[in-house]
Structure 1
Amino acid sequence: MLDVEAFSIYIMICVLAPLLGAFTLLFLFVFEKRIDLLEKQKREITLERELQTALYTQLNHEIQPHFFFNTLNSILGLARLDRKAELIHAIESLSKMLKFKYKTNSPYITIEDELAYIQYYLDIQKTRFRDRLHYEVSMDSDSAHAITIPFLIQTLVENAFKHSFEKHVGKAILRIGVTKNQQHVKVTVWNNSHQESDQNSHEGGLGLDNLSKRLKLFFPDSKTSIELNKGFDGTTVLATFPFINQSETQKGETTK
């Protein structure tokens, strides 16, 4: 015979056991749903990153043909003028540019390398414009190993030639400056064209729009900007993006 105390315990167990079982099943159900939700979010994030990478690559490739065609047109101009010695020098500079460009497929480039790359382009334009062209390039030592998107500065420089120097006679002055301001890098490209130019026309606008989109894709969690300003003394384009040292990026890639 069961005493009253044992019987009470038995009744309690009979009542609580189904409840415990129900709570356990409910917990497992909620836990499983949570796992499914996390897996779904992970897949969505992975897919979004893949789409952003694909878009970034596409935008990067859009810039390159535009740049190379303009460079070839500059060289063609030398050939038409029968400036053979300068033509040879321009072709040599183009060869160095191509070698520099295709030695890496990295989605980013350091400021130092970007400016070295631009120097080849400026050599070609100096050969073409001769004494008419004057340019200055300055860079903070702190900015040398900061990373940026490929062809950022190149596109801004190319726009100055295409939309200003090639369309207006007279002295062509270009200034390129790179500075580090707190945790941001500021790239300034100024040219002395104060007349009405079409740097923000359809084609030029596409170039700046391309840069803006690529900056946002490359620095998704930070503020970036491309600003075009025209004044009486010339036209300035300012690009601003976060300062990230190349060593930090390489360290991050190694730990992945």
Structure 2
Amino acid sequence: MQTKGSLRRSLISRVAILIIALTLLLIYILYDGIGIIRSQAIDSHRQLTATYMERIDNALSKTNAYLSHLAAYNDDLSTLTAYSYGSSSYIISKINIQKELTANTGLYDGVAAFFVYIASNKDLLTSSGGQALIHQAPLQEAIQATSPTEWTIHIDDQSQSIIQVTSLSNGVYLGAYIDSDDWNMTYDGLIFLYGSSGHSLLHKDYNSDYHSLSAQMRAPYKDGGAAELHQSGTAYLMVKSVSKLSKLQLAILIPESELLQSLKVYRQWVWLLPLLVAGIILTFYYFLQNSLLKPVLTLHRSFKNVSTGSWDLSASANGSRPNGNKQYEEFALLFQSFHSMVGQINELKIDVYEEQLRSQQAEYKHLQLQIHPHFYMNTLNIIYNMAALGETKAVQKLTLHLAQYFRFITKTNQELITVAEEMEQVHNYLEIQSMRFPDRFRYELQLPDGCKGASLPPLSILTFVENTMIHGFQDKSNDLFVQVSIEEGEHGQMNIMIRDNGCGFPQDMLEQREGGSSVKGNGIGIYNVATRLKMMAGDQPSEIKLSNDGGAVVQMVVPIQQDNDKRRTSHV
């Protein structure tokens, strides 16, 4: 069955995704709010600058209308140049003009003084107080820039003033001196009114601080547009409007920090709210972990332990939490049912295991009974051959060896014997064979002291030695050499090697994978040894390998068992 991974990891990943999604949502809301506030600020300040600029254009238009009316209908202006300079008529006309100008100065928005300039005499007439305001240099620049029968608006950067001039046909110039501060454009922030030169016409204390931005403020923008300006690491939002009658531009700078001041607390909450929500979610996760995850994981570990053969369920005993508090009723019932089920399975497993032991014991007894006549028949065959040859002493010696062997076999029906006892029987057997083939057979036995006390099933080595003698002499022309060597291996194991210089194992046998296969029709030999070694080793590794290396080679790897309890004996 396919699984989706750990429940804990799944919950943690989903909690993380929820927190990240919430944080991203709040950040989106924050920046969306910033965009809305910026848009509202631009709209409100756009309306403000448009209103002020419309007021300026209306004031300039009304002033120009007055000057045009005065030029067209005032008799003193039309006849002033007809009188000689300094005559009584000239002086009377000047006085009348000055009274007219003074009487109308306060009626027009932003006008500080009206003036009349006679180019032929270089004579300047102003309304009351105008002589102190109007300077010759900017006046001459305004007059030179004025075309006949047209009116011009000249911006004087030095005096931060505006000169509006209308040219009459007889060389007389009629105009107004405008102080932009008189337009009373009230605004608490940064406001600038400037012409093409970039010098602000409003007398503000902060003009010099922002003079470096004048080039950016004069840059062409769509009327009513907005732009971002930067100075000394401070960002400003600029909104401006352009006059339709002149080169005047009205700009308002809004510091980004002041614009977003209302969002300061909101921005703090945007960052604190995810932390608060994360804390709530983690608290809920902690509660969920104690009430649901830990019991589920405990039950999961119990299932894994049972599946791997471990029946220790103490970690989930009594269906309680690790901190000792009682579990919920549902989990308590689940744990109790699981423990009951495991207990029943364990009892059933023990019953099955005991039945298997009894079956193995019966099979073991049967295998031993098969081995005894197997060796006995081979030995009697040798004695018969020797008696036929008349070797009386050899028969006596062989009979003695055979009597010692069967005395050991009939003395007790042992499941395990020591390696020393097994090697003693191998020695008896090989002595019998050496007496049968005195000139053609040699053998060598190697047994270290550390392996003498180790346990083996009886005849484990002798079975392979017998097979060596039976099949090693198939080549009658060669002498036979048999070597049995035992040594201590790694990890508490013992390595046993039986080799000869005979014809070796058939190739088809070596290709078989089963270690208990019989040799050349000997149906009980190797199978019996492999089965009894496996019974003795239990869960410990044991192995029998067959190979050819200049003859047959048998390698056995068995665990070293020297515990007396392993040598179980049953009397017959």
TM-score for the superposition, normalised by structure 2? 0.37
Matched, 1:112 2:420: yes
Cross-structure match for 2:141 = none
Cross-structure match for 2:442 = 134
* Deviating more after overlay: 211-220 vs 184-193: 211-220
CA distance in 2, matches of 1:25, 1:238: 55
**Which digits, 9 at most, give the CA deviation of each residue in 1:53-76, with x for residues without a partner?**
222222222222211111111111
Q: Helix, strand or coil for the counterpart of 2:437? A: helix
Cross-structure match for 2:502 = 193
The 8 Å contact of residues 60 and 214 in structure 1, kept in 2 or not, is answered as no
Query: Of 189, 208, 230, which residue of structure 1 is paired with 2:526?
Result: 208
Cross-structure match for 1:93 = 401
CA distance in 2, matches of 1:234, 1:26: 64
The code of the aligned residue for 1:170 comes to N
Higher relative contact order (CA 8 A, sep 6+): 1
The 8 Å contact of residues 370 and 524 in structure 2, kept in 1 or not, is answered as no
Question: Aligned-pair distance for 1:128?
Answer: 0.8
CA distance in 1, matches of 2:504, 2:335: 72
TM-score for the superposition, normalised by structure 1? 0.79
CA distance in 2, matches of 1:196, 1:34: 49
* Deviating more after overlay: 165-174 vs 84-93: 165-174
CA distance in 2, matches of 1:56, 1:175: 28
**Residues 28-47 of structure 1 aligned to structure 2 (within 5 Å):** 35-47=343-355
The code of the aligned residue for 1:191 comes to D
CA distance in 2, matches of 1:235, 1:227: 11
The 8 Å contact of residues 163 and 197 in structure 1, kept in 2 or not, is answered as no
CA distance in 1, matches of 2:390, 2:546: 37
Question: Aligned-pair distance for 1:104?
Answer: 2.3
Flag the 1:167–1:101 CA change in 2: closer, same or farther, 3 A: farther
The code of the aligned residue for 1:193 comes to G
* Deviating more after overlay: 25-34 vs 154-163: 25-34
Question: Aligned-pair distance for 1:197?
Answer: 6.2
Greater share of helix: 1
**Residues 1-256 of structure 1 aligned to structure 2 (within 5 Å):** 35-165=343-473, 168-182=476-490, 183-194=492-503, 201-204=519-522, 206-231=524-549, 233-247=550-564, 249=566
Instruction: Number of aligned residue pairs: give it.
Output: 231
The code of the aligned residue for 1:111 comes to V
* Deviating more after overlay: 27-36 vs 203-212: 27-36
CA distance in 1, matches of 2:401, 2:358: 36
The 8 Å contact of residues 419 and 453 in structure 2, kept in 1 or not, is answered as yes
Flag the 1:151–1:195 CA change in 2: closer, same or farther, 3 A: closer
Flag the 1:65–1:159 CA change in 2: closer, same or farther, 3 A: same
The 8 Å contact of residues 451 and 494 in structure 2, kept in 1 or not, is answered as yes
Question: Aligned-pair distance for 1:221?
Answer: 0.5
Moved over 4 A (4+): 24-36, 195-200
The percent identity for this pair of structures is 26
Flag the 1:143–1:196 CA change in 2: closer, same or farther, 3 A: closer
Give unpaired runs (5+ residues) of structure 2: 1-328, 510-517
CA distance in 1, matches of 2:441, 2:448: 24
* Deviating more after overlay: 98-107 vs 197-206: 197-206
Q: Helix, strand or coil for the counterpart of 2:540? A: coil
CA distance in 1, matches of 2:347, 2:504: 57
Question: Aligned-pair distance for 1:202?
Answer: 3.9
Flag the 1:244–1:27 CA change in 2: closer, same or farther, 3 A: closer
The code of the aligned residue for 2:357 comes to R
* Deviating more after overlay: 50-59 vs 107-116: 50-59
CA distance in 1, matches of 2:355, 2:504: 47
Flag the 1:218–1:129 CA change in 2: closer, same or farther, 3 A: same
Question: Aligned-pair distance for 1:236?
Answer: 0.9
The 8 Å contact of residues 480 and 501 in structure 2, kept in 1 or not, is answered as yes
Cross-structure match for 1:15 = none
Question: Aligned-pair distance for 1:116?
Answer: 0.9
Flag the 1:213–1:191 CA change in 2: closer, same or farther, 3 A: same
The 8 Å contact of residues 440 and 480 in structure 2, kept in 1 or not, is answered as yes
The code of the aligned residue for 2:554 comes to V
The code of the aligned residue for 1:236 comes to V
Question: Aligned-pair distance for 1:169?
Answer: 3.4
**Structure showing greater Rg:** 2
Question: Aligned-pair distance for 1:33?
Answer: 5.9
Q: Helix, strand or coil for the counterpart of 2:411? A: coil
The 8 Å contact of residues 79 and 87 in structure 1, kept in 2 or not, is answered as yes
Flag the 1:49–1:122 CA change in 2: closer, same or farther, 3 A: same
CA distance in 1, matches of 2:446, 2:334: 66
